[in-house]
Structure 1
Amino acid sequence: MPFGASRAIGSRSDGGRMGVGSDDAVVIKVGKLAGEPTVVTVNCNDETGLGCDICHIILEFGLCITRADVSTDGPWCYLVYWVIPFLPSISIQWTSLKNRLLSACPACSIPFYVDLSRSGTSQFYLLKLFSADRKGLLHDVTQILSELELLIHRVKVSTTPDGRVVDLFFITDCMDLLHTKKRQDDTCERLTNTLGSCVSCEILLAEGFQQGFSSLPPVVAEELFRLELSDGEICSRSLSPDMRKLKKANVNFDNSTSPAHTLLQIRCVDQKGLLYDILRTLKDCGIQINYGRFLSDMKGFREVDLFIRQTDGKKIIDSGKQGALSSQLRLEMLHPLRVMFVNRGPDTELLVANPVESSGKGRPRVFYDVTFALKVLQICIFSAEIGRQTASGRQWEVYRFLLDESRTLPLANSRDNRNQIVDFVRRTLMGW
């Protein structure tokens, strides 16, 4: 076996596997020293795409995967992730993380966690927040809701004549407990305690709520969703000179190392959610991973070795299939998020888009990162909405932010200002 994780899984007998309970399926060993990574181990029944689902949850909790070992013998898998918070200020709820990971493991039941990717699973609620106006408020609320495992689906921000702000958040609850008075009271108490006594809130059932979304104009959609990208559009301005040399990413296929698997080797620039982007691409393409290793070097690059095969159990030998998979991986690794400005009448709108998994899941923490970037830039948000749109043969999740230019630098008539904002938002999203 090529990796340590493979030896660990091989040491467990079939009988031992059958005896693994939910408490043993996910083990989290929190780092004791500052900067020391936390080790997350998942040991359970396997299914295609499980590694992607685990990475999705880890990313959703604000954690960066610094290293990973993956091993499976078909019916059983052993996954090890070394993780650290993206920001020191992020508060990680390790018990909640373990429960969410358990809910993703086949045959492990966590009844109070639900799969929000399934339509009709969760009830929408309306959170009304009343407060004094200030820059960065939307991100501060977003951070609290994220820590409470409440997902935001639409936001409407308005200002009253007396200078107060009314924020309307349409949300769903990952724990599916927001129908209880205790969960609602705890949420409002957390918001008021953190944001100050001048804040008040209430939570109502959003009956009849629909994820309505106005389609983008055809010209804007064509620019935002186009698949053909030039080298100059791969965010090279966000990279150091050494990292620009590798902006195209190296993707190689080796069918000589293993008699039963194709070795997929990737070396590319490190970025937030890189392993997730690789695994979701392989998942959507129906590629199975049997062994894998995810490592980083000291210069900001990542090395990924994956022993893979097709759903029929065969190696990927056809050059056409290799080329198609290589092109798809490069696109998803180098440009997983799209960011651009458009004019919306006299106003300015910031658009951010990312492809949706075939399972229906969108990329985690996009709304969090964009509001954080705009808070740092001291740009006020007038309104925001999140929706889905089909283009270029796939579904996209689109975030639309209507910016309030009355209290910030003018954007509509300044190309340099726009480019700087787009660059900073993209860097934040990519973790650069």
Structure 2
Amino acid sequence: MGISCDDEDVVIIQQGKSPGDPTVVTVNCPDEPGLGCDLCRIVLQFGLCISKGDFTTDGRWCYIVLWVVPNESSMKVDWDSLKERLLSACPSSCFYKVYLNIQTSAPSPSPVYLLKFWCFDQRGSLHDVTKVLCELEILIQRVKVMPTPDGRVLDLFFITDCLDLLHTQERRDHICEHLMAALGEYCITCEVQLAGPEYESLQGNYSLPSAIAEELFSYLPTDDKASSKALSPSSATLKNTSIMVDNTLSPVHTLLKIQCVDQKGLFYDILRTSKDCNIQISYGRFSSTVKGIRNLELFIQHKDGKKILDPERQVALCSRLKEQMLHPLRVIVANKGPDTELLVANPVELSGKGRPLVFHDVTLALKKLGLSIFLAEIVRHATQDCQWEVYRFLLDDSREFPLGSTEARNKIEQRVRRTLMGW
């Protein structure tokens, strides 16, 4: 590890020599709490899976190597843009900022804009719009989708720009041009403007009906019902999930040995949980998948630099991690009067950030099933110990896919789950 002010040395991306080979992403920069989580979040946002990883830190400097591959249904990957985004997440490597501890002001949050989009109703159009926005590095903060009796749909996307260029007319026109090209003759109008009071009205927490909230958020790691509803490709998920705590191998670190079923976003989920629990990972290795199973070794400390010796703290940490490996997202199909409602929920980071690409993956699954979306929105819901991002979809019944049967609803749940987990 070393000191450099040359950004070219901070993030290096080496693409595979042959088709199918992973791309190697190397990050060499000053360390800060939660940096690994932030980097994995960006990788996930670009539609990439981490096939294996290796990272180490001495508390001041970190060295991270990630082997990444595109998801089967991922967007186009702009490697130059990925490098810029990773660079922006890294602390400055300049000597005076790191070793003289000069405080820099935190960046102000990006302003929220409203994308107002009128189009003729078409199955899958919501996903087509979402896919374009993701490829353009637009983050979706809130959504309101409202059909009208005359066959049109009004899409209201409250968005922020990873490139911070929405204040320019050129960037706004660029987004509208891509959206209109994606929908072709189905597009009516498209405009982007700074969000007004209508966004503030959506900022509060949404209160789900108690019965729905109980089914969506209740979870116990040893609960057979929870295990059966886990986002797993097989019934062997619980059997293949284990966490071992070892305090004998290192005088200053606690070793976590983790085995679990592989899934999209696994490393992000583990690092997010560690970040929210104030756990510092000094060394970590994520092995390649073998028969669908991952093995991870993490040498960790509490934020005060001490080992995790308290048995109660060990149990709490292991329970939290196991929950994220067995049940990282919640998916149910419920009745809302005569309508069928799909709900998908994911925990929000303590920083306030939600999980990337959930809306993209859910709309992709519904498009593949040939289902029409009558209404969609993203809301926040607070439970006793967590804040959740909840995606609500009212689904339209059709002759091709009647929603009245239990079999049909189970099929929707399974397709959405498998798409979210990359199975």
With normalisation by structure 2, the TM-score equals 0.90
Unaligned stretches of 5+ in structure 1? 1-8, 10-16, 110-117
Residue 135 of structure 1: CA displacement?
0.9
Q: Which of the numbers 160, 183, 192 marks the counterpart of 1:195?
A: 183
Retained in 2: the 8 A contact 1:38–1:83? yes
Separation of aligned partners in 1, 2:348 and 2:47: 19
The aligned counterpart of 1:59 is 44
Separation of aligned partners in 1, 2:93 and 2:368: 41
Residue 298 of structure 1: CA displacement?
2.8
Q: Which of the numbers 57, 64, 67 marks the counterpart of 1:79?
A: 64
Retained in 1: the 8 A contact 2:233–2:418? no
Separation of aligned partners in 2, 1:151 and 1:423: 26
Q: Which region of structure 1 is more displaced relative to structure 2, 88-97 or 389-398?
A: 88-97
Residue 378 of structure 2 aligns to a residue whose secondary structure is strand
Q: Which residues in structure 2 correspond to 1:10-89 (within 5 Å)?
A: 17-87=2-72
Q: Which residues in structure 2 correspond to 1:95-110 (within 5 Å)?
A: 95-107=80-92
Per-residue CA shift, 1:159-217, capped at 9, x if unaligned? 44553333222222122211211001111111122322442422222211223454111
Residue 296 of structure 2 aligns to a residue whose secondary structure is strand
Number of residues of Structure 1 aligned to a counterpart in Structure 2: 407
Q: Which region of structure 1 is more displaced relative to structure 2, 318-327 or 273-282?
A: 318-327
Overall identity of the aligned pairs, in %: 57
Residue 314 of structure 1: CA displacement?
1.5
Retained in 2: the 8 A contact 1:234–1:247? no
Retained in 1: the 8 A contact 2:113–2:194? yes
Change beyond 3 A, Cα 1:247–1:125:
farther
Residue 430 of structure 1: CA displacement?
1.2
Change beyond 3 A, Cα 1:105–1:120:
closer
Q: Which residues in structure 2 correspond to 1:7-406 (within 5 Å)?
A: 9=1, 17-87=2-72, 90-107=75-92, 121-199=109-187, 200-208=189-197, 209-210=199-200, 211-212=202-203, 214-228=206-220, 230-235=223-228, 239=232, 244=236, 246-247=238-239, 249-406=241-398
Residue 398 of structure 1 aligns to a residue whose secondary structure is strand
Separation of aligned partners in 1, 2:422 and 2:121: 29
Change beyond 3 A, Cα 1:240–1:196:
closer
Residue 236 of structure 1: CA displacement?
6.6
Residue 296 of structure 1 aligns to a residue whose secondary structure is coil
Separation of aligned partners in 2, 1:285 and 1:158: 39
Separation of aligned partners in 2, 1:160 and 1:297: 47
Residue 237 of structure 1: CA displacement?
8.3
Change beyond 3 A, Cα 1:161–1:400:
closer
Give the partner amino acid of 1:355: P
Change beyond 3 A, Cα 1:240–1:221:
closer
Change beyond 3 A, Cα 1:238–1:313:
closer
Q: Which region of structure 1 is more displaced relative to structure 2, 265-274 or 380-389?
A: 380-389
Separation of aligned partners in 2, 1:407 and 1:133: 17
With normalisation by structure 1, the TM-score equals 0.88
Residue 234 of structure 1: CA displacement?
2.7
Retained in 2: the 8 A contact 1:385–1:399? yes
Residue 287 of structure 2 aligns to a residue whose secondary structure is strand
Residue 96 of structure 1: CA displacement?
1.4
Retained in 2: the 8 A contact 1:102–1:108? no
Separation of aligned partners in 2, 1:395 and 1:349: 21
Q: Which of the numbers 389, 392, 415 marks the counterpart of 2:406?
A: 415
Retained in 2: the 8 A contact 1:154–1:385? yes
Please say if 1:424 is aligned against 2:412. no
Separation of aligned partners in 1, 2:416 and 2:363: 9
Residue 347 of structure 1: CA displacement?
1.3
Residue 362 of structure 1: CA displacement?
0.9
Q: Which region of structure 1 is more displaced relative to structure 2, 131-140 or 159-168?
A: 159-168
Residue 108 of structure 1: CA displacement?
6.2
Change beyond 3 A, Cα 1:173–1:348:
same
Retained in 1: the 8 A contact 2:238–2:326? no
Change beyond 3 A, Cα 1:21–1:153:
same
